[in-house]
């Protein structure tokens, strides 16, 4: 296995938010290289326990290696964090961390097909043993209007229709198989013209999110993870783009409210009072300090939100 390189973001802020302690029990639902996980184990010495999962077998193996010094204080499993409640009892954890998205290792490994900067197979699956479609399957089979919606909704790509229509024509003769082929094709359709980012950036983000159905996992996973916490336990979530962050923010606001409402919109006439289930610890979330940004540019778009579970009345 190649050396796994990923620098954890907002590490101090995560540890400060989760306040790991001896006897505590934690879940890292996105182990990656195990950077946050080892900090949680360290801070909960001598006997804090950590469950860890990742969809990616390579990440899991790397994290397992890194956590070896902690002996039997951790247990890992290859799965989606939405499935954590199949092996962890409800109301049993003091803290959960979800550090969403992909690791630097995944982005920097051409064979994984996440990056338009290095040529590799157009794959993008976090779980390469899974049965889900690859990015190439989506690019080569979705009707142009669905592909355009995907680029627009998940990537905010303003040339979504133009790119999707061009892909539909091109793939009849030459299906897309590599990241380089797709990146160069998009650049031909939408030339760079001095822009700081590569013209394929947004389409690649959209394809990655769709290939891994990432927003559904976040939507589902938050709810399930929150149920694993004991009262006073904390859910910490780091997101890297606005679609994810909106889901996290809305979930936390909903749990912190003292009412439910009927219908699609919150209107005072349709509110039913209830006790809040959680308390938001930092309303706008935490972002990286200047000193972290100096050493880890990937932290630029990271936002950490934290919700504490409140006791039931
Ligand atoms: C940003 S990295 C995490 C890095 C990690 N915190 C560290 O310190 O090394 C995100 C990781 O989460 C995994 N991942 C993303 N979505 C997931 C999901 N729904 N279930 C499980 N793992 C997921 C990715 O495969 C990737 O390894």
pLDDT, tens digit, 9 for 90 and up, residues 264-301: 888 989 999 999 999 999 989 999 999 999 999 889 99
Q: Take atom 2 of ligand 1 and give the residue whose Cα is closest.
A: 103
Residue span of the structural domain in which 64 resides: 11-105+215-309
- Other C-beta atoms within 10 Å of 285: how many? 21
203-250 pLDDT tens trace: 999 999 999 999 999 999 999 999 999 999 999 999 999 999 999 999
pLDDT of residue 1: 42
For residue 159, is it within any domain?
Answer: yes
Same domain, 132 and 251: no
Q: Take atom 14 of ligand 1 and give the residue whose Cα is closest.
A: 30
Same domain, 94 and 221: yes
Once rounded to an integer, what is the mean pLDDT over residues 57-68? 95
CATH number of the CATH domain containing 141:
1.10.150.170
- The Cβ-side half-sphere exposure at 30, using a 13 Å CA radius, reads 23
Check if the beta carbon of residue 100 is closer than 8 Å to that of residue 28.
no
For residue 122, is it within any domain?
Answer: no
Ligand 1 pocket check for 112: Cβ under 6 Å = no
Same domain, 219 and 305: yes
pLDDT of residue 2: 46
Check if the beta carbon of residue 124 is closer than 8 Å to that of residue 113.
yes
27-61 pLDDT tens trace: 999 999 999 999 999 999 999 999 999 999 999 99
Q: Where are the alpha helices (DSSP H) in the chain?
A: 11-18, 35-43, 57-67, 104-108, 135-141, 144-155, 160-173, 179-189, 201-211, 214-227, 242-256, 290-295
Mutational test site, ligand 1, from 30, 211, 217, 300, max ligand atoms within 8 Å of CB: 30
pLDDT of residue 195: 83
Same domain, 98 and 219: yes
135-174 pLDDT tens trace: 999 999 999 999 999 999 999 999 999 999 999 999 999 9
Distance (Å, whole) CA 238 – CA 135: 24
- Of 150, 189, 145, nearest in space to 166 by CA: 189
Q: Take atom 19 of ligand 1 and give the residue whose Cα is closest.
A: 80
Same domain, 195 and 226: no
Check if the beta carbon of residue 11 is closer than 8 Å to that of residue 300.
no
Mutational test site, ligand 1, from 53, 103, 214, 298, max ligand atoms within 8 Å of CB: 103
pLDDT of residue 118: 87
pLDDT of residue 48: 98
Please classify residue 89 by burial: count the beta carbons closer than 10 Å to its beta carbon, then call 0-12 exposed, 13-18 middle and 19+ buried: exposed
Ligand 1 pocket check for 126: Cβ under 6 Å = yes
């Amino acid at each position: 296995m190649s050396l796994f390189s990923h620098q954890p973001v907002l590490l101090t802020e995560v540890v400060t938010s989760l306040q790991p302690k001896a006897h505590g029990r934690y879940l890292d639902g996105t182990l990656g290289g195990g950077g946050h996980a080892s900090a949680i184990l360290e801070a909960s010495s001598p006997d804090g326990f950590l469950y860890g999962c990742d969809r990616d077998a390579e990440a899991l193996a790397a994290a397992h290696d890194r956590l070896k010094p902690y002996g039997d204080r951790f247990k890992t499993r290859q799965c989606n964090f939405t499935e954590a409640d199949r092996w962890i009892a409800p109301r049993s954890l003091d803290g959960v961390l979800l550090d969403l998205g992909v690791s630097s290792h995944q982005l920097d490994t051409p064979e994984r097909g996440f990056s338009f900067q290095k040529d590799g197979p157009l794959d993008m699956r976090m779980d390469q043993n899974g049965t889900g479609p690859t990015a190439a399957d989506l690019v080569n089979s979705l009707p142009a209007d669905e592909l355009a919606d995907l680029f627009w909704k998940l990537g905010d790509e303003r040339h979504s229709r133009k790119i999707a229509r061009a892909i539909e024509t091109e793939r009849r003769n030459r299906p897309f198989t590599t990241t380089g082929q797709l990146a160069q094709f998009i650049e031909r359709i939408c030339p760079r013209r001095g822009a700081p980012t590569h013209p394929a950036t947004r389409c690649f983000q959209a394809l990655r999110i769709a290939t891994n159905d990432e927003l559904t996992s976040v939507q589902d996973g938050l709810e399930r993870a929150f149920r694993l916490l004991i009262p006073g336990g904390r859910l910490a979530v780091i997101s890297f783009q606005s679609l994810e962050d909106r889901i996290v923010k809305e979930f936390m606001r909903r749990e912190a409210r003292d009412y439910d409402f009927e219908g699609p919109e919150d209107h005072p006439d349709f509110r039913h009072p209830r006790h809040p289930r959680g308390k938001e610890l930092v309303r706008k979330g935490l972002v990286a300090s200047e000193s972290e940004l100096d050493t880890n540019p990937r932290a630029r778009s990271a936002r950490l939100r934290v919700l504490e579970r409140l006791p039931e009345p």
